[in-house]
Structure 1
Amino acid sequence: MIPTDFSIPVLGFAAFSGSGKTTLLEKLIPILREGGIRLALIKHSHHDFGMDRPGKDSDRLRRAGAGQILLASKYRTAWIREGDGKTEPDLGELLQRLDTRNLDLVLVEGFRDQPIAKVEIHRPSLGKPLLCLEDPHIVALAVDEAPTQQTPVPLLPLDDAGAVAEFVLSWLEKR
């Protein structure tokens, strides 16, 4: 499945590492939730990570060789699939795993090369290039200071999650 064919609007947040994607999303998500938006989030990580504490049953079963584990309780459910350590996860496949019955929006952190609508987070002080100059899928640029170059997309204040939320709601309304 191509991520652009997904039945729920998908909006990515893309940037180089250390730009503040997670920090912005951490502030943005409660604002969107307060506005009645039911959302899911898919986060890409370049690091190995664990979902359970060492020694717990699911960890022991994963280490024993279970390639996929579905851990469920009345509090939450987690799906764990072991990767091969080389192949990046497929965003389309991850989207298909979501229960869309109660979703209005899927936010994606990372996956910056995917052909989905994205808000770029950019801090000129980090010395990284603007992604929006090359990526036609970027719909806005959240910055802590205005870039020196002309940008083809609207600028949003990175330190104002309320303004970013207004943009997201407006974008969602147009879909």
Structure 2
Amino acid sequence: MKQKSIVAVLLAAQMLLVGGVACNDSGVSDDTIVSETASAETESAEIDETEDGETEFDRMSVSDDLPDITFNGRDFRIVTNEDALFQLVAEDYTGVATNDVIYDRNKRVEDRFDVKISAFYEGKEPQDVVYLYAMTDEHYVEMADVWSRMGLSLAADSLCLNW
């Protein structure tokens, strides 16, 4: 019983100590904060004046190390879960930010590599679709969007060309 009382007192003391330290005024005055902010603004203004003014991001300035190849209009088919379709394809610009970003991304990939991206749901889990068509030796999809634990079985059975 005495041990429980000691532990309770120690825990209460620790909570009070933490509360006191957290609410402690560290001695930083408002003048110090204002002067630090002013000096930071001055430095950023000096940097802006010395740079060459390039503010637009140029996609070509960052290399993605992908070869410049074309696929001559081939279909790039993705089998996925029904609830993940909206993350992979978009039919057109709709004004919804996520939809427009997905449409823009796919359009840029399609234009760069001359492919047609499509995604579909077969009514089954994607790994089951891959198993079904792999056993028939038919090339049905280029990519399967599967849960990671389900994809491991596909790789273990050597049903993936690139894992």
TM-score (normalised: structure 1): 0.23
Name which one, 1 or 2, has greater alpha-carbon Rg: 2
Structure possessing the higher relative contact order (Cα contacts under 8 Å, 6 or more residues apart)? 1
Structure having the higher strand fraction is 1
TM-score (normalised: structure 2): 0.24
Structure having the higher helix fraction is 2
